Structure formats: structure tokens, C-alpha cells
Structure 1
Amino acid sequence: MNMKKAMALLLICLLGLSVVGCGNSKSADTAASSQEKKSITVGTSPIFKDIVAAAKEDFDKDGYVLNIKVFDDLVTPNIALQEGSIDANVYQHGPYLEQFNQNKGTTLAPYNGGLVKYFMGVFSKKIKNINDLQAGATVSIPNDPSNRSRALKMLQANGLIKLKDGAAMPTKLDIVENKKNLNIVEMDVMKLVSSLDDVDCSTINSVIAVQGNVDPKSAIALEDKAESDKYSIVIAVQKDQKVDKTIARLETALKSDKVKKFLEEKYKGAIVPLF
């Protein structure tokens, strides 16, 4: 065998080993990517923790484990998700998530469509009819952007204020007419029920109302149904988790007949399942 033939044979052998090595590497990568995460941590709020807990038994089969972490505010669950200390969260509606991404520079996304929806109403311990609201009355509303705009739109729909035309996410600065000179006070959504002792009325969503022992059917005014349809609660994930099989398992557990029955029995119409 001359030198040229020997070099050619050596080169062929080296190329063959390289191809085999690459093939093994790709196989390993594929195997790793196809593995499901068996244990996940889902963030939620005191409002929705019972709903997530109702899905745990179905999720926790075949070696899977659903850990539930409850946060006491509306910001930290999204920060934790962005940073990767939790795998998903269940507590917010789509408009809030979208606004959060814009304000905080996060890149979170809803996993498919909404799970449940609720409605917003005006509640009071002092009056029985929205038309009885006196001049100078105090009204408490949520202080986060999406729920605040929702509350202001509801006050407008019920003839209490008028907002600037075209304000998609209105604030108090967009109020162009306030004939009763209402004192509109913003606060955390978790404090709205307790504020009923101090204000004339409050704009509260039905979930928070029922968990605060306020009958959601006692609302003296409601938002338009078309408006409430926009605010369904979603599973939030990082964008690259949109095809995560374990998150799909979480969604299936949350959309079970068991969870639907739980919602019907506990919330008495305050939360409407969308499955």
C-alpha cells in the first residue's frame, strides 16, 4: 500500500468515527429533551390556591409531584417564574399578564386559553342600589393597571363617571366627567373586601368577594358580560415552555371533571369553568 492510499484510508476512518460520535451526541440530546420533568412547582395566590390544590391528586399519579407555592402579592409570582424558581403560575388573567410583560420587561406567556373566568361587581355595606350613591362618596378600586381599568370601565358603564374616548387602559387621569365628585381610592385587590367597612362601595371581582365571605350575587351593579369574557385566568409559563409535556399534564389536571365539580360546589357561580 503506497503512502497516498494509506492516508486516504486513515481519513475515511477518522470521518467515520466523527459521524458516529455526532450521531451519539444527537441521540443523547434528543433523549434529554424528550424527558419530562416529574416534579414541578406552581405559584398561585390565596385566591386560586384551592383550585390548584383540587388538581393535585390527578397530577400526582405515576410518579409525578405537583408542589404548590402561595404568594401574597400579584408581582412576585411572575418574577419567580421569569427567574425560574417556579415552573408555572396560576392566578392572573391575560390582560394583567400582557401589561406585566410591558411594564417589567418579562417574557412570560399564557399556556393555551383561559381556565376559568369571573365577573366584577360593585359591592356595598351601606347602600342597596347604585343610584343611591351620594355626592362625594368614596369608592375603592384595584390599583394594578388591568384591574383598575376594568373597574373604571364598569363605573362608566353604570353611569357614575365618563372616561376619555379611546383610553384602552384608563387611569383616574382619564376621567373627564365625575358628576357626583366621587372620591376614587386605589388599593391592592386583596384589601378591597376589608375596605367595605370604610368606603361607600367597592369594585370587587366575584372570586375575591366569595373568598371574603361576600355573596357575589349581592353586587349592586355588574360589568358588561362582554367585558368579563376578556379576563379569563390562564396558566402562565416561560415562552420556551409552550410545548412542555408536564405543563400540558398540569392543564389536563386543572380541566378535569373533579375540578369543575369543586368550582360549582365551592364558588356558587362566582367562578365559571371554561372547559
Structure 2
Amino acid sequence: MKKKLIALLCVTAVVMGMTACGSDSKENKEEAKGEEKKTIRLAAGDPMKEELINAIKGDFEKKGYKLEVSVIEDPIASNNAIEEGSLEANFIQHNAYMTSYNEEHKGDLVAVGDAIYYPCMGVYSNKVKDMKDLTEGMEIGIPRDPTNRSRALRFLEAEGLLKLKEGVEEYSQLEIEENKLNLKLTEVDSESIPTILDDLDAGVCYPIAMKEAGFDPESALAFDPPEIGKEYGILIAVSEKNKDAQWAKDLQEAMSEEKANEIIMEYFGESAVHVSEY
């Protein structure tokens, strides 16, 4: 009897061990896949991005999801909401900004696939009609935030107006080695550049800021080249644990379709480039 009891206990222990291993394996597999949710809360960074999301909402929901869309224009608040779990994803930022956020806030946000589109950065002016009309000592407004300031300086270098120090990851005016026209570069909030354009000779900003201020976003004297622009593509951001979740892949796929490109073209024309055109 004693031997039978010992044998029974051994068999029970083995079965429990196998069950536990199977459970751990299942949990690890689910963790690797991310959280498989059906209700997805997604924040757009502005009304245009909301319109783009709504254009693909039907196709996404046909796959069995419910997509709840909101607009949060503050990227820090939007990113914090993902970290805290009140959002699954947002559509507001490029990789450089997301990386900066992760470093400053100890975040773990990642991109899902390729960026959906990149907005060109343009040089706009109410005083000159062509880049060649920029002359000695003119005042150019550029964004003051580090990421977009760096992009603007690289853009002006690509136009032959500046020479920047090589090997710098994020440029400030301290890295300008040559300012060929002795341009006065005034740093201001990017969104305010269209509103003070009459006080400047030209300003470097995004087409969406111009459109929201009532200007034609395609009226730029020049747009920055693709080799710069592609680095600043607007992406879908999620928590690290969800980067391989099926819902995240399905969302990225839906937003890469032609319907999204049609909204981009309608809103920006040639001043933005959708992933389907990369």
C-alpha cells in the first residue's frame, strides 16, 4: 500500500510539472505575441491624422476589432497614456521624438512597422518668391525644439545656405561651420512660424502648420529632400510588449493602404509622402 501511494504521488508530481511547463510555455507565447485585444484605443495627434484613421477604420474593424479614436495634440500626454494603459497606440510622432521621449521619461515605446507617412518640411515666405531671392542678412525663423531645429538646419544645408559640422546626431546653431549669407536664424515655436511670417523674411516649418493658419501647404519655396524627410516619418507607437500583437500589425497594414494615401494627398498634396509612395 505504501509503495502504491509513493508511486501515485510521483505520477501526480510529474503530471503537475508537465502542466506547469505547458502553462508557462503558453504564457511565454502569449507574452511574445503581445496583448491580443479587440477594442483598440488610438490617439491621433491632430484632426488630419484623425481623418486619416477614420478613413481606414471600417477596413480595420472588419477584422473583428473596435477602434476608438481620440485626438491628443500633446505628444507627452499621449505617450504617457500608452505607458499608463489608457491607450493602446498613438499616431503623432516620428522615431527621433519617440526615442527622445523614451530616454527622458524612461519609456518603452516602439514603432509598429514602417512610418505611415512623412510630412515634408518647407521654407515659406510672404516676401520672396524663390530660394535664390534670399539675400545677405535676412531673418529666417526655425523651430526651437531640438529635433525639428536639427531637421531645419540640415534642410538649409541641403539648400546650400549653411555648412554643418560632420558627425553630429542632432544639430544646433553651435554646429554651423559656415553661414554663407550671414542669415539670422531665429528660433521660435514651430507652430507659431506661420503667424509671424510677416515679421520674418522666411520661415521653416511643416505644411500642416501652414494649412491650419490658412496658407496653402504646397506654397513652399522648397521642401526638404527625401533622404532627410524619411527619417521623420509619422509612425504608430505602442508599448514594447505589443510590438508583435496581431492587432498592431493589422492596424499598421490598414493605415498603409491606398485609402490613407488619398487623405494625405487631399490634405497635403505633394507636401507629404505616404508609405505606399516610398
TM-score normalized with structure 1 length: 0.84
Partner Cα distance (1:242, 1:32) in 2: 12
Instruction: Name stretches of at least 5 consecutive residues in structure 1 with no aligned partner.
Output: none
Partner of 1:172: 173
Contact 1:263–1:273 (CA under 8 A) maintained in structure 2: yes
Alignment CA distance shift 1:32-1:57 (3 Å): same
Contact 2:110–2:240 (CA under 8 A) maintained in structure 1: yes
Partner Cα distance (2:267, 2:86) in 1: 31
User: Bigger shift: 140-149 or 96-105?
Assistant: 96-105
Q: Deviations over 1:89-127 (max 9, x none)?
A: 112222332333334432221111121123212101121
Q: Deviations over 1:198-221 (max 9, x none)?
A: 322111223433444432332113
User: Bigger shift: 32-41 or 162-171?
Assistant: 32-41
Q: Deviations over 1:25-63 (max 9, x none)?
A: 559848976772111111221152221222222223365
User: Bigger shift: 136-145 or 16-25?
Assistant: 16-25
Contact 1:207–1:270 (CA under 8 A) maintained in structure 2: no
Query: Offset of 1:155 from its aligned partner?
Result: 1.5
Partner Cα distance (1:220, 1:13) in 2: 79
Contact 1:118–1:272 (CA under 8 A) maintained in structure 2: yes
Query: Offset of 1:247 from its aligned partner?
Result: 1.0
Partner Cα distance (2:100, 2:18) in 1: 49
Partner of 1:84: 85
Partner Cα distance (2:167, 2:15) in 1: 66
Q: Which of 13, 16, 30 is equivalent to 1:15?
A: 13
Partner Cα distance (2:30, 2:106) in 1: 30
Alignment CA distance shift 1:16-1:98 (3 Å): closer
Partner Cα distance (1:30, 1:228) in 2: 38
Partner Cα distance (1:62, 1:168) in 2: 41
Instruction: Describe the SS at the equivalent of 2:154.
Output: helix
Partner of 2:43: 43
Instruction: Describe the SS at the equivalent of 1:48.
Output: helix
Q: How much is the aligned-residue C-alpha RMSD, in angstroms? A: 2.8
Query: Offset of 1:152 from its aligned partner?
Result: 0.6
Partner of 2:251: 250
Contact 1:42–1:90 (CA under 8 A) maintained in structure 2: yes
Partner of 1:198: 199
Instruction: Describe the SS at the equivalent of 1:263.
Output: helix
Partner of 2:69: 68
Amino acid at match of 1:132: D
Amino acid at match of 1:172: Q
Instruction: Describe the SS at the equivalent of 2:169.
Output: coil
Contact 1:122–1:201 (CA under 8 A) maintained in structure 2: yes
Superposition map of 1:1-275 within 5 A: 1=1, 3=2, 5-12=3-10, 14-15=12-13, 18-19=16-17, 22=20, 25=23, 29=27, 36-46=36-46, 47-61=48-62, 63-275=64-276
Amino acid at match of 1:241: N
Instruction: Describe the SS at the equivalent of 1:149.
Output: helix
User: Bigger shift: 165-174 or 207-216?
Assistant: 207-216
Higher relative helix content: 2
Amino acid at match of 2:132: N
Bigger radius of gyration among the two: 1
Partner Cα distance (1:39, 1:125) in 2: 47
Query: Offset of 1:167 from its aligned partner?
Result: 2.3
Instruction: Name stretches of at least 5 consecutive residues in structure 2 with no aligned partner.
Output: none
Alignment CA distance shift 1:10-1:111 (3 Å): same
Amino acid at match of 2:271: A
Partner Cα distance (1:249, 1:149) in 2: 33
Instruction: Describe the SS at the equivalent of 1:184.
Output: strand
